[in-house]
Amino acid sequence: MRAVRVGSNSDLWPCGGLSRDAFVELVVSEGARLYRELPWRNVDDPYAVLVSEVMLQQTQVKRVLKHWERWMALFPTIDALAAADTAEVLTQWQGLGYNRRALALKRACEACSACSGGALPKTAEELEGLPGIGPATAAGIVAFAYNRPSVYIETNVRTVFLHELFPERDKVSDRELAPLVELTCPDVDARGWYYALLDYGAHLKTLVANPSRRSAHYARQSAFEGSRRQKRAELVRIVLAEPGITADELARRLDAFERAGGRAGATVQEFESIVADLMSEGFFRREGDVFLP
Concerning whether 242 is annotated as a catalytic residue, the answer is no
Sequence letter at residue 108 = A
What does DSSP assign to residue 275?
H
DSSP alpha helices (H): ranges in the chain?
A: 20-34, 46-55, 61-64, 68-74, 78-83, 86-93, 100-115, 124-127, 135-144, 155-165, 174-184, 190-207, 228-241, 247-260, 268-281
The active-site residue out of 25, 30, 37, 53 is: 53
Residues 46/117, Cβ–Cβ less than 8 Å? no
Extended beta strands in the chain, E state: 245-246, 285-287, 290-292
Cα separation, 132 vs 245, whole angstroms: 30
Distances from the Cα of 196 to the Cαs of 78, 101, 178, 211, in angstroms? 28, 26, 17, 17
Residues annotated catalytic, as ranges? 53
